[in-house]
Structures are given as C-alpha cells and as structure tokens.
C-alpha cells in the first residue's frame, strides 16, 4: 500500500497519523510517498528544509512503515543536485537506525473504529471525528490503530467510537465480547446508535436517547470526581450533539447546561451574539456505564475544529479511571511530542518524535 502524503501539498500534518494507522490493519506491506517540494508536486524551484523531510520519514518508520521521496524531473532531463544531496543526507540518517526498524511491527492496545472506512473513499464522508480522535490519542501518547471494524478487535483494551459511528449486528457482537472481557468503550454524540438513530444498540449503554441537542451553544460542568486539573466553571460545547438521559444504573460525570438563547436565533429585530449559560437542563453531558463512557457532544470533531484542551483532559480522565496500565506512561512531555512503540524480534523500540510543525505562511 502506497500512502501519498505530502503535508505541504494540501494533505496537512493530520492526514498521515490516522491513515497510516488504518493501512497497517490491512495486513499488507505499506510505505509513504512524500515529496521534496516546498509546496506541492511540480514546484520545481521549491525545496523543503531538511528537518521537514526527515519528520515525514521518521513518522512513517515510527508507525511501522517504510518511506520514499518523490520528485519531478525537468523536461530537459536534468536533476537538481541540492535536492538529491538533501535526500541523501536524510536517507543516511534512516540507514543508521535501520537495524532497529527493519521488519519492526507496531504494538497497540487501543483502536478507533469507523466502519465507513471500508465502504466510502476517505474524502467522501466526514473524517473530522477520526482526525480529532487520532490527534487527541496521539497527544496523550496512547498506542492505537484505526480500524473499519471488520477484523477481530480482541487484542485491544480500549475501543473509541467517534461521534457518528453506526453499530450494525456484526460490530455489536464484537463490542459485546469486548465488554465481557473487561474492555473499555469511549463514544460520543450519535456513535453507538442504530442505523435509524433511535436507540443505543448495546444493552450496556444505560442511557436513553432523546434526539438532537437543541441548544447551540451549550455547556457542561464536570462532577467533583473528575474535577482535578479542570476548570470549575461551565465549559462551552461549540457543536451540537445529542440529548440523552441517564438511568439509575449509570453515573453522571458531567452535567449539561443550556444558554439563555441560541446563537442562530433571529427575530428580525435582535441578533443573539453574547450568550452566557443560563441553567442546568437536568441532562448529562458525560455518562459512565461500567466500562462505557459516552459524551453527549461530538468531542472528537469538536477537538479537531476548536482545539478545546479540556476536551482532551476529560477524555484522559475517563480512560485513566478504568485503564491503569496503558502501554506508555509519561511525565512532562509537551502535547506535540509523539511516542510510538514497535516490536522487532525480541526487543521493544520506543520512538519519541519531538517536532513542532508551525504554519509560518498563510498558505
């Protein structure tokens, strides 16, 4: 499988992390095709900084893949010496670590499931929930794959169903087995519902679905049990999710609040722009049902679009409550540092990539 990923050419730096984690579940050799160009393909006078190219190569290797670098030959048949000198320097660094990367496979204990991956081309459905979940888990140094849910998920301890994942009968059976062995499910918004979007498919969801959330924006306030490290105030939910009710068998970890009025309301006289929270609705924003945690709002798409750090922190709290021994534990690493684990023969290799991609020009 060849993964064409030129971050500066329109793919961006969020594409490779999720697509390579999907490719590696398909049981085929895979590698990435990046480019030497400052912009996109055919930018003959554009050459990237060396560390920009190295970042792509290291990223592929840390995720169990191999790498290639693309170029375009001038119509006169002449290659640019500085380009190939730079590629040579980069590949010499790759060669130095080849002893530890040749034949290495990734080790993971979590998975993001999106069944649409197997049915619909990646740019023909809303991939933001998967992108957001990937970014959140990667920033938290968790080790995970992205799956279409067709294969066995028995090896994973944590399953993430981001925002819109429909659960059919086959996936339902797998998730039930996952819960029976003590597995954990993190889901949000419409994820976990049936195709008709009428109810949660799994009986272990002790939650009543009541339709689309009508407040826009809305807010949540976390309970004391998970408050440490989070602001003790209403936190904004910028994107509408679902309205739900907790049953007696579930635990509320965050309470939902409504605004005085919706931002989009308009009576031809007044525009509502500054909207504070008014009161609690009596409904939850986050519910725990044993090893299931469900957010009423699209936390993953919300993180990708709006980068609310508290969304990530509350996700970390949920996982930490029931999963005490993830593959990687860390202290003091910034969120932009990525940690990947691979296994080769009898040794385990930990890749730590400390890069901070920075958008310096508007385009």
How much is the pLDDT for 135? Answer: 97
Report the distance separating Cα 50 and Cα 136, nearest Å.
27
How much is the pLDDT for 265? Answer: 66
311 contacts: CB under 8 Å, gap ≥ 6 = 136, 299, 302, 303
Report the distance separating Cα 90 and Cα 27, nearest Å.
28
Strand partners, 105: 343
360 contacts: CB under 8 Å, gap ≥ 6 = none
Q: How many CB atoms lie within 10 A of CB 2?
A: 11
Q: Which residue has the tokens 């971050």?
A: 7
Contact 311, 302 (CB under 8 A): yes
Three-state secondary structure call for residue 146:
strand
How much is the pLDDT for 298? Answer: 98
How much is the pLDDT for 123? Answer: 74
Report the distance separating Cα 256 and Cα 264, nearest Å.
19
State which residues of the chain have pLDDT below 50: none
- The pair of structure tokens assigned to 119 is 């049915």
Report the distance separating Cα 134 and Cα 32, nearest Å.
18
How much is the pLDDT for 272? Answer: 75
- Whole-model pTM: value is 0.95
Report the distance separating Cα 342 and Cα 349, nearest Å.
5
Tell me whether strands 184-188 and 292-295 are parallel, antiparallel or unpaired: parallel
Report the distance separating Cα 55 and Cα 338, nearest Å.
11
Residue 290: alpha-carbon gap to chain centroid: 23
CA distances in angstroms from 297 to 25, 32, 199, 249, listed in the order given: 28, 34, 16, 21
How much is the pLDDT for 274? Answer: 83
Residue 137: alpha-carbon gap to chain centroid: 6
Average pLDDT, the chain: 94
Phi and psi for 118 in degrees, rounded to 5?
-85, -10
CA distances in angstroms from 50 to 53, 84, 362, listed in the order given: 5, 11, 21
Q: Which residue has the tokens 């119509």?
A: 75
Does residue 143 have a cis bond before it (omega within 30 degrees)?
no
Residue 353: alpha-carbon gap to chain centroid: 18
* 279-318 pLDDT per residue, tens: 999 999 999 999 999 999 999 999 999 999 999 999 999 9
Three-state secondary structure call for residue 283:
strand
How much is the pLDDT for 120? Answer: 84
């Amino acid at each position: 499988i060849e993964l064409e990923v030129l971050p500066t050419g329109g793919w961006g730096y969020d594409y490779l992390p999720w697509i390579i984690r999907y490719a590696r579940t398909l049981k085929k050799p895979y590698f990435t095709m990046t480019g030497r160009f400052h912009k996109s393909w055919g930018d003959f006078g554009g050459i990237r900084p060396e560390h920009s190219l190295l970042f792509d190569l290291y990223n592929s290797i840390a995720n169990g893949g191999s790498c290639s670098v693309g170029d375009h030959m001038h119509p006169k048949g002449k290659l640019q010496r500085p380009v190939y000198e730079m590629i040579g320097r980069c590949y010499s660094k790759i060669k130095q670590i080849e002893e530890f990367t040749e034949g290495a496979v990734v080790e993971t204990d979590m998975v993001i499931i999106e069944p649409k991956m197997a049915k619909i081309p990646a740019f023909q459905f809303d991939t933001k929930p998967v992108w957001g979940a990937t970014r959140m888990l990667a920033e938290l140094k968790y080790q995970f794959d992205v799956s279409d849910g067709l294969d066995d998920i028995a090896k994973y301890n944590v399953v993430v169903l981001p925002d819109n994942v429909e659960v059919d009968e086959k996936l339902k059976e797998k998730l039930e087995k996952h819960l029976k062995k003590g597995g954990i499910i993190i889901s949000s918004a419409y994820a976990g519902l049936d195709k008709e979007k009428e109810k949660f498919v799994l009986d272990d969801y002790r939650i009543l679905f009541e339709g689309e959330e009508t407040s826009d924006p809305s807010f949540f306030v976390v309970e004391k049990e998970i408050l440490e490290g989070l602001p003790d105030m209403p936190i904004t939910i910028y994107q509408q999710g679902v309205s739900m009710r907790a049953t007696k068998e579930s635990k509320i970890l965050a309470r939902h609040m409504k605004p005085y009025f919706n931002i989009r309301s308009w009576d031809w006289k007044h525009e509502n722009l500054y909207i504070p929270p008014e009161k609690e609705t009596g409904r939850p924003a986050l519910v725990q049902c044993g090893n299931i945690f469900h957010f009423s709002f699209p936390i993953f798409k919300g993180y990708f679009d709006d980068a609310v750090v508290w969304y990530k922190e509350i996700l970390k709290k949920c996982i930490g409550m029931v999963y005490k021994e993830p593959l990687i534990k860390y202290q003091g690493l910034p969120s932009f540092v990525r940690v990947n684990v691979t296994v080769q023969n009898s040794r385990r290799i930990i890749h730590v990539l400390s890069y901070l991609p920075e958008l310096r020009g508007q385009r």
